[in-house]
């Protein structure tokens, strides 16, 4: 077997180590939502708060994305990133370790608006369900995973028995666990009502509504997506003059929090948003 000259072997090893170092440097440190979903928009505000250039960091391979918050939690759970920014409710559901919470100064309040749509075929039944979501019974389920009520809880009025109706509810993916539990309770108390859920990113749901999808109730993880469907919202936001929100039905239902989560063992040793910002700079 022909022997490799010592100098050539040494140079080969140096180049190999350099390549490994380059690859390691490109290992994604942060998973965040896409810019068209609320959790991604809140994360962008946090990056701006720290003076970080998202485009530059993404180009360097330090940021990776998810089309909704569930995809971000999966990346963190699988340890394919050093940390992720999600809602506290999703961290709870995924069993992830929370190391820090964002302040209102960093990204604003995380408010979930909800409304009956004026394209609903069953507006009275839809309003009755929306009222129920503000009841103590429903709020107890929301609070178990980290949501907090925005306003006072109210005792929902008993809906009059009607013929069988099917209500289609479009809701942010971060509400999957809670609304699934609420479905069982509500249908047991209202056997004439069948709830059909469509969970996805708020941006995707907004687009589906705009394109004509049947929907009775819309619950967004951000004000922007609801505003884009609400004719009473500022034209700077509702730039297309869309009119899908039933007048008088819109409420601010819940508040969530944006948190920093890490995989088991915290291999990147990120313990706070300050740590994350320092590591990204």
Digitized pLDDT (tens) for each residue of the chain, 281 residues in all: 445 455 444 444 434 434 444 434 456 999 999 998 889 999 999 999 999 999 999 999 999 999 988 899 999 999 999 999 999 999 998 999 999 999 999 999 999 999 999 999 999 999 999 999 999 999 999 999 999 999 766 666 665 556 899 999 999 988 999 999 999 999 999 999 999 999 998 999 999 999 999 999 999 999 999 999 999 999 999 999 999 999 999 999 999 999 999 999 999 999 999 999 999 99
Task: Enter the tokens of residue 256.
Answer: 């969530």
CATH numbers and ranges of domains, the chain: 6-102+259-280 (3.40.190), 110-256 (3.10.105.10)
Q: Which residues on adjacent β-strands are paired with residue 83?
A: 30
Q: What is the pLDDT of residue 37?
A: 87
- Name residue, tokens 């009119």: 243
CA separation (Å) from 180 to 78, 114, 194, 217? Answer: 25, 17, 12, 15
CA separation (Å) from 16 to 20, 26, 276? Answer: 6, 16, 29
Spatial distance between the Cα atoms of 225 and 219, rounded to a whole number of angstroms: 10
- With H, G, I as helix, E, B as strand and everything else as coil, classify residue 227: helix
Task: Enter the tokens of residue 175.
Answer: 């509400």
Q: Which residues on adjacent β-strands are paired with residue 171?
A: 199, 219
Q: What is the pLDDT of residue 113?
A: 97
Residue 281 CB burial class (10 angstroms; 0-12, 13-18, ≥19): exposed
- Terminal Cα distance for the chain, rounded: 49
Spatial distance between the Cα atoms of 143 and 213, rounded to a whole number of angstroms: 30
Give the H or E element holding residue 39: helix 38-49
Would you mind telling me the total number of residues written for the chain in this entry? Answer: 281
């Amino acid at each position: 077997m022909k022997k490799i000259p010592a100098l050539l072997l040494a140079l080969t090893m140096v180049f190999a180590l350099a390549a490994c170092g380059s690859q390691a440097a490109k290992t994604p440190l942060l998973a965040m939502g896409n810019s068209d979903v609320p959790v991604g928009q809140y994360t962008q505000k946090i990056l701006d708060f720290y003076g970080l250039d998202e485009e530059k960091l993404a180009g360097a391979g330090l940021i990776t994305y998810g089309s909704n918050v569930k995809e971000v939690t999966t990346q963190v759970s699988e340890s394919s990133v050093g940390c992720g920014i999600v809602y506290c409710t999703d961290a709870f559901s995924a069993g992830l370790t929370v190391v820090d919470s964002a302040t209102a100064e960093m990204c604003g309040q995380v408010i979930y608006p909800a409304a009956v749509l004026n394209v609903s075929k069953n507006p009275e039944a839809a309003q009755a369900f929306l009222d129920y979501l503000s009841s103590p019974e429903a709020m107890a389920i929301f609070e178990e995973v980290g949501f907090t009520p925005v306003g006072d809880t109210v005792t929902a009025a008993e809906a009059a028995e009607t013929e069988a109706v099917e209500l289609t509810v479009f809701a942010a993916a971060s509400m999957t666990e809670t609304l699934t539990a609420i479905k069982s309770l509500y249908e047991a108390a209202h056997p004439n009502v069948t709830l059909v859920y469509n969970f996805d990113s708020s941006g995707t749901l907004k687009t589906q509504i705009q394109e004509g999808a049947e929907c009775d109730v819309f619950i967004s993880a951000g004000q922007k997506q609801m505003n884009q469907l609400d004719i009473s919202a500022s034209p700077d936001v509702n730039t297309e003059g869309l009119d899908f929100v039933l007048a008088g039905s819109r409420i601010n239902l819940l508040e969530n929090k944006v948190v920093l989560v890490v995989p088991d063992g915290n291999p990147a040793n990120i313990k706070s948003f300050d740590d994350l910002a320092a590591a990204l700079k």
